[in-house]
Amino acid sequence: MEKEKSKTIMDKIWDMFASVKFAVVNFALIALTSIVGTVVEQQVEPEKNIKLLMKMFGIEYDAAQSLLGVLDKMRFTDMYHSWWFLAILLLFAANLIICSIDRLPRVLKLVREKARPLSIEHLEKMSVKKVFSQKDKASHMKELAVSSLNRLGFKPFESSGGQGTQLYAEKGNFTRLGVYITHLSILLILAGAVIGIFFGYNAVLNLPEGEVSSFAYKDRDTQIPLGFDLRCDNFEVEYYPGTDMPKAYKSWLTVIKNGKEVMKKSIVVNDPLTYEGITFYQSSYGAVPNGMGNGILLLNVVSDNGKSQQIKTKIGESFAIPGTSVTGHIVDFSPALSFDQTGKAFTYAGQMTNPAVYIEFFESGKMKYSGWLLKRYPQTWSLPDGNRVEFLDYWGVEYTGMQVRKDPGVFIVYLGCILMAIGLYMTFFMSHKRIWVNISEEKGSVKVLIGASANRNRAAFEQKIEKLAGMLNAGQKGEK
Amino acid sequence: MNSSTFFGLSTVAYILAMVTYITYLAFRKARIGIVATVLTVTGFVSQTLALGMRWKEFSDVGQMGFLRAVPLTNLYESLIFFVWCLILAYLIMEFKYKNRSFGAFITPIAAIALAFIDISGMSKNIQPLVPALQSNWLLVHVMMSFFSYAMFAVSFSTGLMYLIVRTEKRSEPAYIFWTVMLSVFVITLSAMGLDYFTFKVAIKSQEELIKSYLFKASFLSSSAFVAASSWAIGVAFFFFIWRFGGALKKMVVSFNISHEMLDEITYKSIAIGFPIFTLGGLIFGAIWADQAWGKYWTWDPKETWSLITWFFYAFYLHSRLIRGWKGKKVAIVAVLGFMAVIFTYLGVNLLLSGLHSYGSQ
Ligand code: HEM
């Protein structure tokens, strides 16, 4: 009573921030407000949310609009960046810090405190306990107990007193810190996120094949200098055979610093390129505007006598098949060729889903044959006269779309994640275990009293004690 | 024989097991209990075989390394895996606590999940992986998430049983809470069953989305009469459970299930589920997103709901530490936590994406 009265306001605030009750309030606050944020769409044009509200509450456009106005004022339309959500997170962090400061000294004391021998009366009262007597010598039983404890992974200390010999051992004191490591890890993750927000950026870079950029772009118009040049050497979509299902999006990139090529790497989704803390992620692709007819066609021409030659050409141009008098004239190109029921060719997509070229072949001025060659279907590459035109690539007409990120906080976030895993493992799958084995001689037999405690996972520990008792009892059976 | 034969077998076995466990709970004949266990084990074995076969089939079709070909890439496969984890956890529990009556509370979850697969007409085809899914994180992320969901499902069942055992008066909030929960659960299951029988024939394409006909045979029926009577039956059923819930309590108590044991199992399964969910669901998910898109956290609805679920269970773990909360209040939190799990898993895809799509209607 006396104590309560003398508490200052500061003490009261401290107590509030140190309490688990406040933590639970914070959990509820974050969870419940987040729910709203998943229903109201974040960072979209108002029309979308108005339609959503009309649908959800069955109300008229005007009512939905004014409701959205209220939600917008309360920042629910971009709540994860709002001041009040940030404030809740701050309260939550303060809660964690103060709660830990408040309790850590006591826990550290518990961790440092060594197990001590206990009185028989004390052991009798322990919740995990085993008592038995048997014909044996105390010294022999002691040896047996030491080796059995060793086998269970405990290194016992020994003390002798009026009540016989006592072996005592403990394991896992440090696991009591698991909860605090978990809590610290949350703070680290929050700190890493804040560092990322202040010192990092997320941007995009659409880079056509063959082009170089020394900038990434944020919000369309803000240029962010990279500090080096990045060139896209090639971009390609791989498909599952015989389907239009993409298997991989792949860009071949070169980093150029001070005019020198310093790094070459091909990136795919899930495997980005990092240079000087800036990471490039494969995220999209597309056709260069108005560029579809102007690409470079890469063919490998193989004549029927085995001579082969790679050639670069363009639509509308001609090439010769080496060692023969056959020439090909490239008439047409389609980024995504398909045939309708009558066998007529048509283009079904703007993207390079199924590129094809239409080539007319001439020999001594006369057209011999013509047809479509498809990049993804090598069976279309063989010509009737035994020559072969391999369609390798149509280059320079696509761009690769990349996410560009710099985040100096991400290491701290990862460190936090590792700590959290360690902390949770210590908390839930390990425990502070203590064992006492008291051995006393009584009229030619020994009385063994085992007492034990564990701060969690008691049931599993009890089985270990069961095993220990079994080992000590088995010794007796052997002598019988 | 291929994997779907064995999946079919396991579905039938689990549904029969559910019926048998409930019968066992009602009549308490040891022999019925043994039959229920045998059915569950049979279902489990054939499901395990089926999972292995599907994995092999998937790796052949996708021409991928075995580890990348985890059969866990769509709703169908993940639900199957969830059921597998749940039954595994249950069998361990039945063995450890030597008590079969939990089966009556856990097999219905398995049955509802499997029925859901069937009525939803979810695609059961093996599809090659899109580029974003080609990551070694897929295996650990999805497996650990579903394992933890199964743990949370166990805690949901035992939390509900705890409330059944511990409540006395019909006016008590905790009593009303569990009767509502139980009725909603049973009514949802029945309504989905109705959908199944009504639309199984009508729906020709397996690709048809569940959204288009979930509850259309009952609550959302185009016939006003059917819809109104469904609601009326639903409410009547709730009143029935509410009025006669005491009988359920007597039944559970007669099986020597103490509330301490229920509380312990609820805590234990959350104590296993929580760290695994944290690591597999949240952390590995974030690492994967970071590798694939360069953003470890984007507040998209699925991520946010995982976080909400996480906070629910953090709430549970901490509320146990508050004096005076132990018992009914934390059991309610455990039950609500699983609602968050279900929403994270299904609601985000079915309801939120429904709200957020404007193409139809
Ligand atoms: C999302 C954030 C948090 C997570 C993931 C978390 C995690 C945990 C875990 C796993 C435990 C062990 C629970 C058990 O043994 O059953 C725990 C215990 C605890 N937490 Fe948290 N915690 C969080 C936030 C907080 C906050 C904000 C406080 C502030 C008061 C707090 C105070 C405590 C206390 C006092 C304990 C008990 C320690 C003990 O048993 O010695 N936690 N926490």
How far is A450 from A438, CA to CA, in rounded Å?
6
Q: Is the CB of A183 under 6 A from ligand 1?
A: yes
How far away, in angstroms, is A464 Cα from ligand 1 center?
28
How distant is the Cα of B227 from the closest Cα of chain A, in angstroms?
18
Residue A30 structural domain = 2-109
A246, A405, A424 member nearest B131 (Cβ)? A246
On whether both A346 and A443 belong to a single domain, the answer is no
How far away, in angstroms, is B195 Cα from ligand 1 center?
44
Q: Is the CB of A20 under 6 A from ligand 1?
A: yes
How far is A387 from A300, CA to CA, in rounded Å?
11
Q: Is the CB of B321 under 6 A from ligand 1?
A: yes
On whether both A238 and A166 belong to a single domain, the answer is no
For an interface test with B, give the residue of A21, A38, A284 to mutate (most B CBs within 10 A).
Answer: A38
Give me the CATH number covering residue A259. Answer: 2.60.98
On whether both A32 and A79 belong to a single domain, the answer is yes
For residue A416, the model assigns a pLDDT of: 97
Statement: residue A227 has pLDDT above 60: yes
Contacts of A216 in chain B (CB under 8 A): none
Percentage of residues in chain A having pLDDT higher than 90: 39
For residue B62, the model assigns a pLDDT of: 63
On whether both A405 and A259 belong to a single domain, the answer is yes
Q: Is the CB of A427 under 6 A from ligand 1?
A: yes
How far away, in angstroms, is A256 Cα from ligand 1 center?
49
**C-beta atoms of B321 and A31 within 8 A:** no
On whether both A9 and A96 belong to a single domain, the answer is yes
A479 within domain boundaries: no
ipTM: 0.85
Statement: residue B271 has pLDDT above 90: yes
AA letter at B138: L
Model pLDDT for residues B275-319, shown as the tens digit of each residue? 999 999 999 999 988 888 888 998 888 899 999 999 999 999 999
How far away, in angstroms, is A182 Cα from ligand 1 center?
8
Last residue of a domain, one of A109, A126, A159: A109
Residue B208's pLDDT band, with cuts at 50, 70 and 90, is very low
B287, B294, B319 member nearest A281 (Cβ)? B294
Tally of domains in chain B: 1
For an interface test with B, give the residue of A16, A19, A24 to mutate (most B CBs within 10 A).
Answer: A24
On whether both A6 and A87 belong to a single domain, the answer is yes
A38, A245, A420 member nearest B301 (Cβ)? A38
Residue B360's pLDDT band, with cuts at 50, 70 and 90, is very low
A189 within domain boundaries: no
On whether both A164 and A148 belong to a single domain, the answer is yes
Q: Whose CA is nearest to atom 34 of ligand 1?
A: A20
Tally of domains in chain A: 4
The HSE-up count of residue A211 (CA atoms within 13 Å, CB side) is 15
A408 within domain boundaries: yes
Overall average pLDDT of the B230-249 stretch? 89
On whether both A346 and A403 belong to a single domain, the answer is no
Model pLDDT for residues B124-144, shown as the tens digit of each residue? 666 666 777 777 788 889 889
Q: Is the CB of B317 under 6 A from ligand 1?
A: yes
Residue B312 structural domain = 3-360
A180 within domain boundaries: no
Model pLDDT for residues A313-366, shown as the tens digit of each residue? 888 888 888 888 888 999 888 888 888 888 788 887 777 888 888 999 998 888
